[in-house]
Amino acid sequence: MSEPIIHMDNIEKHFGNVIALAGVSFDVYPGECHCLLGDNGAGKSTFIKTMSGVHKPSKGFIRMNGKEVNFASPREAMEAGIATVFQDLAMIPLMSVSRNFFMGREPTKGRGLFKRYDHVAANTITMKHMREMGINLRSADQAVGTLSGGERQTVAIARAVYFGAKVLILDEPTSALGVRQTANVLATIDKVRAQGVGVVFISHNVRHALAVGDRFTVLNRGRTLGTAERGKITAEELQDLMAGGQELAELEGSLGGTV
């Protein structure tokens, strides 16, 4: 493999006496989908926020393209090429798809007092990039709230890639979607990888992760339990790691095999 786009080495994050991350190491290569799996409370949200500049690590370091970085804010991380698509998507339902696509970074035409929003350019770019992601919109002017959940996810992903994402963090992108919408989002992830973007797929759904992942890292109580490559671990083994297979086995034994 080439050099990783981003490398997190032995990251710890403390909130007072609470240790949210306890020595997490993680990296992402160009065109790779690296899945971070973990149950609720495993530390996935803290991990996302540390990688994307919301939190500064208490210990450890982050490198991008071999150079150590210290992000002071999420804006700095975005400028470096780390984009995050959160579950809430940060979209305004009554605004058009193209307005949501650009969201404060709209193309303009004219100068000075005559500078104005370039509606035609915005719609053309939006339609083009949505088609590239496999979504054929009726119109870029339609309200984004009229799209399905999977299509809105695709708008957010296409937006991040258009604005230069090198690493795309997807926070539980399929958690609230039906089967068909989930399939569309997973297909979109494949299209993003084909463009050389590194994808961090955060999920607690092993099946969805196995559909697109190249590597799988399991997080449990702020610690990584190891990383496995595609084809070298089964869904059952990943599920056991996530749920704490040994703990469940002990509980089952204490309850007489009723779990």
Does residue 58 lie within any of the structural domains? yes
Report the run of H or E that residue 194 belongs to, with start and end.
helix 179-194
Does residue 169 lie within any of the structural domains? yes
Q: Which residues of 172-198 are buried (b: 16+ CB within 10 A; e: fewer)?
A: bbbeebeeebbebbbebbebbbeeebb
Does residue 245 lie within any of the structural domains? no
Tokens of 20: 């949210």
The C-alpha atoms of residue 197 and residue 182 are separated, in whole angstroms, by 20
pLDDT tens digit at each of 259 positions of the chain:
579 999 999 999 999 999 999 999 999 999 999 999 988 888 899 999 999 999 999 999 999 999 999 999 999 999 999 999 987 777 899 999 999 999 889 999 998 888 999 999 999 999 999 999 989 999 999 999 999 989 999 999 999 999 999 999 999 988 888 888 999 999 999 999 999 999 999 988 899 999 999 999 999 888 988 899 998 988 888 888 877 654 544 545 566 655 4
Q: Indicate which CATH number applies to the domain containing 225.
A: 3.40.50.300
Does residue 49 lie within any of the structural domains? yes
Cβ(84)–Cβ(44) below 8 Å: no
Does residue 243 lie within any of the structural domains? no
Does residue 159 lie within any of the structural domains? yes
Structural domain for 196, as ranges: 6-237
Does residue 252 lie within any of the structural domains? no
Tokens of 245: 């297979």
Tokens of 158: 């296409």
Does residue 42 lie within any of the structural domains? yes
Domain tally for the chain? 1
pLDDT at 256: 60
What is the torsional sign of CA 15, 19, 25, 26?
negative
Q: Which residues have CB under 8 Å from 164's CB, separation 6+?
A: 81
pLDDT at 259: 47
| CA distances in angstroms from 14 to 43, 210, 240, listed in the order given | 11, 31, 27
pLDDT at 255: 66
